[in-house]
Chains A and B, each alone.
Chain A
Amino acid sequence: MPSSSPRLAWIWAVAVFCCAVIAGPGSADAQTRAETLRQVTANTINTLDPTMAGATREAFGLSMNVYDRLVAFTRKPRGNGYIFEKDKLRGELAESYTVSPDGLKFTFKLKRDAKFHDGTPVTADDVKWSLDRHVSSKSLAASQLATGSLTKPEQFKVIDPYTFEVTLDKPDRFALPNLAIVYAIVFNSKLAKSKATPDDPWAQGWLKDNTAGSGAYTIETFKLGEQIVLKRNEEWTGGIDGKPAPFKRIIMQTVPEAATRASLVEKGDADISIDLAASDVLSLESKGRLKIVSTPQFNAFSLIAFNTKAPPFDNVKVRQAIAAALPYGDLFKAAIFQRGQPLYQGKWASAPETSDFPQAMPVQQDLARAKALLAEAGFANGFETTFSFNVGSAAVSEPIAALTKEALAKIGIKVDVQKVPDAQMSTFINEKKVPFFLEASIAWLPSTDYFFRVFFTGPQRWNYSSWDNAEIASLTDQARFELDPARYDTQTRRMIALAAAEVPAILLWQPNQDAVMAPAIEGYTYWFHRQVDFRDLARKGS
C-alpha cells in the first residue's frame, strides 16, 4: 500500500472496491444532524397498526407518535427525566372532557383545529369509527378495552361533529385510562373506509402497511426489519402546548447486537437507546460521558412462577420453601447489577404497610426454614424439577437460573435448567406445560386490583402460576368497581397479604429501564408502554 496513514489505507481499500464507480454528484443533502434523532433498538417494528395480533413493543411506541388518542397521560419529573402519571389525564384530540356525576357518561369536546395528515379535520365520526373498530374487529384492542368496560359500539355516540360521548353500564375507573393507551388510536375514517373491502371492513390489511392518523409524526420511509424514518407533522395539535414536536426527523434503526448498540451511542452516532445490556450501561455510566435516565419500571415485574395446579408446586409449603431458599441479593446483583427496585425482603410479616402493588414481599433466604418447610411438605429428600426461561432473555435469566439451581441443590431439590426459544416458551406458558419458570411482565394500567385480576386470576396466559383462589377472585371482582377509597384499600391489602401467605409466585424485582442518550437530549419520559415517545425529546441548544 503506497499510503503511510492507516486512515488513508482504509480509504484506499474502499476505493479499490469502487474503482469502477465514476464519481457523480454528491448525494444526501446532509439533513442537519442536530434536528434528527437516531434511536437504535434490538427489535423491529412489524406493523404500523398496533392493534394487530403480533405487534411488537416497538410498534406500540411508534403508534404513539404517528397517531393521537382522545386523551393522554401526563408526566412528572423524576431524577434527570420524567415518568408518566397514571391517574392524571389530559386531552390529546379532546380539548376538554367531562364525567357525569354518576360516572357513567364521558363527554369529549374535540379540538377544532386538529387535522389528519392528509388535511381532513378530525371529527367525532372518526372517533366513533375508530372505537367501533377497536371493540368489534378481531384484534388485540377488544380484550384490552374490555378491561375498562368498553365492549360494544352502542357505547359510543356522536353528538355533533366536535362532541363525542361514551357511556358505561357501571362506573369503571379504567374506562378513561383505556382511552389513553396504545390501542385507542383514532383513525382517519374516510381514508380507512376507502381502503376497506367486504372481507376486511376495518381496513386491517391496509392499515398494517399504511397510516391514517393525526399524530406528531408522519412516516417518511419504512423498511421492515431495518429502519423507519419519521418526519415531523408541522400541523400537529395534540401536544401540551399545541406546538409541533421538537425533532424534525426521527430515525429508528434495528441493531440486533447489544454491544454494537452500546458502541453507537457511546461514539455519538446514535442519540438514544433503551435496550442496552446492563453490563454496557454500567460501563457507560462509569465513563460518565453520556446521559442515563434510569427508571424502575414500576408497572412491571420479574417473577419466578410455579404451576400451582400440579405437584409438587400445588403444595404451598413447597412454594414457601423455595421462596426461603433463594439468594435474593446475589440474584439481584448477578442478573441485573442491582439496577432496579427489589421486590423481596419486605419489612412486614402478615399485613402489608401499603396497598401498592407490586411491592417488596416478606421473603428472604433462610435455608434452615426452607429445609424444615420442605420436610413438612413431605419432601425431606427433595425432588427433581425443571426451571425454564426464554432465549431472548438469556443475558438476565441465565445467572438467575444458575444461582437458583445452585441454591435449591442445597435443600435437596435437583433442578434441570431449560433455555427455550421464545416462541416455544410462549406456548409452554400458555398451555401451562412448565412447572417452574422465569417470566417478566407488565401492566399498562398499574393498579393493585388490575395486577391481581390480570396476573393472579382466571385461566388466561398471564396467570402464570394458574393460581386459583376463591377469595382473590371475589376480591378482584369487588375492587374493580369499588368507588370508596377506604374499602378499596382494605380489599387490595387483603389481596397482597394472601399472595404473601400463599406464594403463588416469587416476585424478584422491577428492573430499571436504562435510557442511554447523548448528554444534550432532554425530556426523556418513562411511559407505560416502555418505549421512547419522540414527542417528549429535544436537543439542548438547538
Chain B
Amino acid sequence: MTTSTLNHVAYVLRGNLVTAAAAAGTALLIAVAILGPWITPYDPIASNVSIALQPPSFAHWAGTDQLGRDIASRIIAATRLDLLIAASAVSLSFVVGALIGSLCGYHGGRVDRWIGRVVDILMAFPLFVLAMAMVAALGNRVENIIYATALINLPFYIRFARAEVNVRRNLGWVEAARASGNSHFQVVTHFLLPNILPAMAVQISLNLGWAILNAAGLSFIGLGVQPPTPEWGIMVAEGARHITTGKWWLVAFPGLALMLAVLCFNLLGDGLRDILDPRMRT
C-alpha cells in the first residue's frame, strides 16, 4: 500500500465515523475470537443445573441457560467458531469462485459457456433450501455447514470475477504481461486476480455477515452445529423460544453479539466500497 492510499483510507475513516466504528468493531471481534479461551469467565460447556435459567447477575452478567451454563462465556467462546465458519466459507467460495470466474473471463469460448451454464443452475436454486438440503444430506457438522455456505456463495464470485476480468483482459498492461513471456495461467493469477481483488473485498465483507446469518438460520431449523458446542445462531434460536416466558437474556445477549458482527461486516463492506471507489462518494 502506498502512502497516498493510506492517506486516502485515513481520510475516509476520519470523514466516515460509521466505517471507523465498524472497523473497530471488527477488530474487537477478531481479538475476542483469538483470545476466546483465555477471557471466558467460566467453562462454556460446564453445566450446573442447580443455577439453571438465572437472570443476569454480578456473577453471571449475561445470565445462565437451561443447563446452568454461563451465557457470557458461551458467547465469547462462540465468537471463534462463528467467525471461523464465516471466514472459511467466504474464503473458500472466494478462492474457487475468483479462480474459475477469472479463467472464464480471460478465456471465454466453450469453457466459459459451460461454466456459465453451471452457474445458471446454481443461481436458479432457492439457495437457503439448497444449503439446508446439503447439510441434511452430508450431516450437520461444522465443515458441512461451511461447504454449504460456500457453495451457495460461489455463483456470485464466479460472475463477479468473470465480469471484472472480462473488461480488463485486453487492456494494455495485460497485453504487456502476456508479451513478456508469462503463461496464461500466470497472467490470470499474478496480474489479473490481484487487480480485481479490491473490488471483490467489498463483496467479501458483505458476505461474511450473510454467512453468519445463514448459519443461524440453519441452527433455527435444527441443522446447525452439534450440541453442546456454543454457537450464536443456536443460542439465539433456542433463546427465541423463551421470548414469551420472560427469559429475555437467553435471546438478547447472543442476539446482540450476532447483530454486532453482521452489522460490522456490512458497514465495513460499505466503507470499503467508498475507499475503493471514491467516485461513489461524489
Whether A330 contacts B49 by the Cβ 8 Å rule is yes
Is A258 an interface residue, CB under 8 A from the partner? yes
Q: List the B side residues contacting A420 at CB < 8 Å.
A: 139-140
Whether B228 lies near A333 (C-beta < 8 A) is: no
Residues in chain A near residue B259, CB distance under 8 A: none
Q: How far is the CB of B217 from chain A (nearest CB, A)?
A: 14
Residues of A near B221 (CB, < 8 A) are 391
The answer to whether A421 touches B67, judged by C-beta atoms less than 8 angstroms apart, is no
The answer to the question of B52 belonging to the interface, with a C-beta cut-off of 8 Å to chain A, is yes
Q: Mark A239-280, 1 if CB is under 8 A from B, else 0.
A: 000000000000000000111001100100000000001011
CA distance A467 to B139 in the complex (A): 28
- B residues within 8 A CB of A402? 45, 47, 67, 227-228
A334 close to B67 (CB less than 8 A): yes
Stretch at the interface among B90-98, B198-206, B238-246: B238-246
Residue of B nearest to A283 (CB): B245
User: Which bucket holds chain B's interface residue count?
Assistant: 20 to 34
Whether the pair B223, A421 counts as a contact (CB closer than 8 A) is yes
Within residues 124 to 163 of chain B, which ones have a CB less than 8 A from any CB in chain A?
136, 139-140
- Given A399-B66, A419-B222, are A279 and B49 also a contact pair (CB < 8 Å)? no
Q: Are A263 and B49 in contact (CB under 8 A)?
A: no
B241 touches which one: A259, A333, A416 (CB < 8 A)?
A259
CB-based contact B45/A421 at 8 Å: no
Contact, CB under 8 Å: A391 / B241? no
Asked whether B222 lies within 8 Å of A418 as measured between CB atoms, the reply is no
**Does A314 belong to the interface (CB within 8 Å)?**
no
Tell me, in angstroms, the Cα distance from A398 to B65 when the chains sit together: 12
Closest to B141 in A: A418
A394 at the interface (CB under 8 A from B): yes
Q: Is B195 an interface residue (CB 8 A)?
A: no
Interface flag for A494 (CB, 8 Å)? no
Interface-centre pick from B46, B66, B242 (highest chain A CB count, 10 A): B66
Q: Is the CB of A418 within 8 A of B244?
A: no
Considering the chains assembled together, what is the distance between the CA atoms of A333 and B245 in angstroms? Answer: 18
SS of A interface (majority): helix
Please determine whether B228 and A405 come into contact, CB atoms closer than 8 angstroms.
Answer: yes
Q: How far is the CB of B133 from chain A (nearest CB, A)?
A: 11
Q: Which residues of chain A are within 8 angstroms of B228 by Cβ–Cβ distance?
A: 398, 401-402, 405-406, 417
Give chain A's interface residue range (CB within 8 Å of chain B): 20 to 34
Residues of the A chain whose Cβ atoms lie less than 8 Å from the Cβ of B247: 279
Most B CB contacts (10 A, CB to CB) among A263, A266, A402 go to A402
Provide the bound-state CA to CA distance between A330 and B68, in Å: 10
Q: Is the CB of A406 within 8 A of B47?
A: yes
The docked-state distance in angstroms from the alpha carbon of A416 to that of B68 is: 21
Q: Known interface pairs A283-B246, A421-B136. Does A391 touch B223 (Cβ–Cβ under 8 Å)? A: yes
A280 close to B245 (CB less than 8 A): yes
Is residue B226 within 8 Å, beta carbon to beta carbon, of the partner chain?
yes
* Residue pair A334, B66 in contact (C-beta under 8 Å): yes
Alpha-carbon distance between A421 and B67 when the two chains are bound, in angstroms: 23
Contact B46 A406 (CB under 8 A): yes
Selected from A279, A394, A421, the residue in CB contact (under 8 A) with B245 is A279
| Contact of A403 with B by CB under 8 A | yes
The answer to whether B47 and A334 have CB atoms under 8 Å apart is: yes
| Smallest beta-carbon distance A192→chain B, Å | 39
Q: Establish whether residues A419 and B140, one from each chain, have CB atoms under 8 Å apart when the complex forms.
A: yes
B228 (CB) vs chain A CBs: closest residue: A402
Contacting residues, chain B, for A263 (C-beta < 8 A): 244
Q: What's the minimum C-beta distance from A150 to chain B, rounded to whole angstroms?
A: 39
Contact B227 A395 (CB under 8 A): no
Minimum CB–CB distance for B164 against chain A, Å: 40
- Quick one: CB contact mask for A473-513 with B, threshold 8 Å, 1 for yes? 00000000000000000000000000000000000000000
Q: Are the C-beta atoms of A259 and B46 separated by less than 8 Å?
A: no
Q: Are B67 and A399 touching (Cβ within 8 A)?
A: yes
Cβ contact within 8 Å between B227 and A401: yes
Partner of B45, one of A262, A282, A329, A406: A406
Q: Which residue of A lies closest to B48 (CB)?
A: A330
Contacts of B241 in A (CB 8 A): 257-259, 277, 279, 395
5 intermolecular pairs with C-beta atoms under 8 Å apart? A258-B241, A262-B244, A280-B245, A417-B227, A421-B223
Q: A259-B242, A280-B244, A283-B244 are in contact. List 8 more A-B contacts (CB 8 A).
A: A263-B244, A277-B241, A334-B67, A391-B221, A391-B223, A406-B45, A406-B47, A420-B139
By Cβ-Cβ distance, the 4 closest A-B pairs, closest first, are A391-B222, A402-B228, A283-B245, A330-B49
